[in-house]
Structure 1
Amino acid sequence: MGFLNWLQNTDQGIFLFILSFANAIVLPVGPEVAFVPILMVSHEKFLSYAMYCVVGNVLGLMLIYTVSYFWSQTFMDRYISQEKIEKGVDVFSRYGPWALVIASMFPVFPYRILVIISGCLKQRAITVFSFLLLGKTLRFFGYGFLIAKLGESVTKYLR
């Protein structure tokens, strides 16, 4: 019962922020791994916790964008295969920055690669960040809303 007590009696916002920031840069596991259980025990805080996740993730992606913007050729040659670059450029030529919204809403899409490619293609920063913010807001607030509405019944079922 110690873990549940820790989840209920501790503000998890900073933890979610750090996890989301790390996920945007290098961590392969999404913040949902912690976000969902935390909201299950304190679903009344979903607005603030979702905001921590959105801000942490978008700030981490801003860092990736900035690095790829200024060191694009080195970054692409070293860390991204030619096949992924071609796919990313194809996605941007088809869907424009809306590709960032779709990719950032679902954890299975390689949104980091699209952010790197958008930096390498020198897309406008305000456009990239606006679309990322939209996608991440829909993602985390959508999860939060569902858990806040369904969390009580799921928690009762699990007990």
Structure 2
Amino acid sequence: MEELLLEYGLYGLFVLSFLAATFLPVASEAALGGLILAGADPYACVAVATIGNTVGAVTTWGVGRWGSEPFLTRLLGLSAAQRERAVRIFARYGSWSLLLAWTPIIGDPLCAVAGLFGLTLKRFIPPVLLGKLARYAGLAYLLS
């Protein structure tokens, strides 16, 4: 990961942030921190990581929207309990629950469940973007 960041900078951060919001276990926070500590512009890093992670979340939403529930369970590697938890959270809080799309373990399932429930992108993107921006901006603030 370090080599990718050093060689590709913000482009590498975008790719890692995108992948982190899909079903792959990638630490985009470490990539953001590494670039900032290496002297990259924190504002640019936060913007790129937020956009990449949000586009990745939209991809996960699309898998939920056009995939079947059994397919999602296999793809996410979720237990029935984890899937039901995501469904309960989304059913109770609706699109506001997507402010938590950045969280480990529950974030990806929430995005997929939002797609599965037919939430429009117009209602999906704002809370996801806001939650991811807050996470990356908070991390950048702690590092500066």
Q: Which amino acid aligns with 2:141?
A: F
Q: How much does 1:126 deviate?
A: 1.4
Change (3 A) 1:77 1:36: closer
Q: Does 1:101 align with 2:99?
A: yes
Structure 2 partner of 1:112: 108
Q: Which amino acid aligns with 2:33?
A: V
Paired positions, count? 139
Q: Does 1:27 align with 2:24?
A: yes
In 2, Cα distance between the equivalents of 1:128 and 1:99? 10
In 2, Cα distance between the equivalents of 1:32 and 1:120? 27
Q: Which amino acid aligns with 2:49?
A: C
| Gap runs ≥5 in structure 2 | none
Q: How much does 1:72 deviate?
A: 3.0
- Which structure 2 residues correspond to residues 113-128 of structure 1 after superposition, within 5 A? 113-128=109-124
Q: Identify which of 25, 28, 38 aligns with 2:35.
A: 38
Query: Deviations along 1:31-68, whole A, 9 cap, x unmatched?
Result: 1112112212315x000111110111111111111121
RMSD: 2.2
Q: How much does 1:89 deviate?
A: 1.4
Given the two structures, how large is their TM-score scaled by the length of structure 2? 0.84
Structure 2 partner of 1:81: 79
CA contact (8 A) 1:21 1:60 kept: yes
Question: Which structure is larger by alpha-carbon Rg, 1 or 2?
Answer: 1
CA contact (8 A) 2:65 2:118 kept: yes
Change (3 A) 1:73 1:94: closer
Change (3 A) 1:135 1:77: closer
| Gap runs ≥5 in structure 1 | 149-159
CA contact (8 A) 1:88 1:117 kept: yes
Structure 1 residue runs of 4+, over 6 Å off?
Answer: none
How many percent identity over aligned positions? 27
